[in-house]
Amino acid sequence: MIPRAAEKTLLKLAGGYPVVAITGPRQSGKTTIARATFKRKPYVSLEDPDQCEFAERDPRGFLVRFPDGLLLDEAQRCPSLFSYIQTIVDLDNRPGLFILTGSQQFGMLSNITQTLAGRVGLVQLLPFSFKELSKTGKVFRNLDNLLYKGLYPALYDRKVQPSDWYANYVMTYIERDVRQMMNIRELSTFQRFLRMCAARTGQLINLSGLANDCGITHNTARAWLSVLEASYIVFLLYPHYRNFGKRLVKTPKVYFYDTGLASWLINIQGPEHLSFHPMKGSLFESFVVSEMVKSRFNRGLTSNLFFWRDNTGNEIDVLIEQGETLIPVEIKSGQTVTPDYFSGIRKWMKFAGAPPIKPFLIYGGPNTYIREGIHICSWQHILV
């Protein structure tokens, strides 16, 4: 098993909460990390029809078999268990009693907020980070290869082509989650919607335009986008609220958590094709932003990332909010740093009125250094 950065967070939470929940996309390694971290816990998967039926029909009888708690995989499949788990941990408040995993954000989090609020520590586990893979020597040092392959664990554990794996992933996981969360009859239309979202990664989300391109209503597009968020396929980056005397764009941007999946959806044929594809810059931006999100999630934190854009087109790709401090980050996929790369940061610093701490430029080249007061950071050394 490739060591995961979230393991320390899981152990820390298990020392302070009676319930620890791990959620994230399918095939991100939730079961693997849970079983490796909590080896002594009895393990039950509710993917097993017999176990799921037992839990639904007789939740008390199901749980009484585990007086010292258990590791419950795909816990969202039996929502009624959460109330019984609440009753148990209120009487027996031992830390780390129950470890829950689940793939559907809405299913897990809605049950947690309704019944286990204040009793559960939460970790959102995404596919490998570049930093995690770097420690194993399995990661590509070629940026195009990395963006094309993506960072799902299965692609580094098995001898499988990314195109084959992602095709099956979409069919067996995304579409199954979609059927469970929403009664979508025309899955071919949903897959077209998914591809259209991939073609817009790194862009402001225009639901009306997206709906028109897919032949669906605006409300349907909004609902389907929520399904993709719940499945940890996409996430929305929201604009920062601070005005600085400018009229700001209020529409969020859409990003894919994994560039390999986005590359497959927009029909990129390989690393060579990606190297000159017009979407390379957007995919690189998606990679960098998702790496920052992973760093936060692996520490059990929520995202503190925003972007900034005014109505005249001035923009900062990412603003990292640290208390009252804002750290601007520009993202450029080119391998050569040119003076125009700094223009966005300099304009933002002028609008902000006060120099930020450590403005960053992350680019597609190999070197990391400081230039004109701006930290130039290689994609291989992302600030995480």
Give the pLDDT of residue 263.
98
pLDDT band at 384 (very low <50, low <70, confident <90, very high): low
- pTM of the complete model beyond 0.85: yes
Phi/psi for 159 (5° steps) reads: -90, 90
- The whole-number average pLDDT for the span 301-306 is 94
- The whole-number average pLDDT for the span 111-124 is 82
**6-124: CATH topology:** Rossmann fold (3.40.50)
DSSP code of 28?
Answer: S
**Residue 233 reports pLDDT greater than 60:** yes
CB-based contacts of 199, cutoff 8 Å, min separation 6: 265, 266, 279
Percent of the chain with pLDDT over 70: 93
Q: Distance between CA 308 and CA 207 in Å, rounded?
A: 20
Alpha carbon separation from 139 to 6, 157, 250, 332 (Å, rounded): 19, 12, 37, 21
Label the pairing between strands 19-23 and 98-102: parallel
Contact between 162 and 148 (Cβ < 8 Å) = yes
- The whole-number average pLDDT for the span 267-279 is 95
Reported as a single tens digit per residue, the pLDDT across 304-325 is 999 988 877 788 999 999 888 8
99 HSE (CA, 13 A, CB side)? 29
- The whole-number average pLDDT for the span 182-210 is 89
Structure tokens at 90: 């209120």
